[in-house]
Amino acid sequence: MGKRYLLYKICRNGDRHLLTWLTASGSEEAHLSVKLLRKNHPQLQDLVLGEGEFFEIVEESRLKSGEWEQAMQALSLRKGGLSSVVAKEGNND
């Protein structure tokens, strides 16, 4: 059974931006998913890292109570961007 993860981009100034969520069998597969997203969607600015920036992948079980639900609500309010690309790709299974 897959685990659920939130993908954040951490900026040079320390700001943490929620990008999307994903499912994977474990952390290695989650990291591979991010690499594949970057490779297959180089046009998405959210996936471009500047100097001092990095991605953070957090497994759902490591989140505070209610954090997953808050993240899903925030992502559902967005139009376009990385979340919609991931959702469209997920529907092609």
Q: Does residue 31 or residue 87 have the better pLDDT?
A: 31
Beta bridge partners of 22: 5
Q: What is the pLDDT of residue 92?
A: 45
Pairing, β 54-59 against β 3-10: antiparallel
Q: Which two tokens stand for residue 12?
A: 């040079």
Whether 80 contacts 46, CB under 8 Å: no
With the C-alpha atoms ordered 49, 13, 70, 45, is the resulting torsion angle positive or negative? negative
Strand boundaries in the chain, DSSP class E: 3-10, 16-24, 54-59
34-86 residue pLDDT tens: 999 999 999 999 999 999 999 999 999 999 999 999 999 999 988 665 655 55
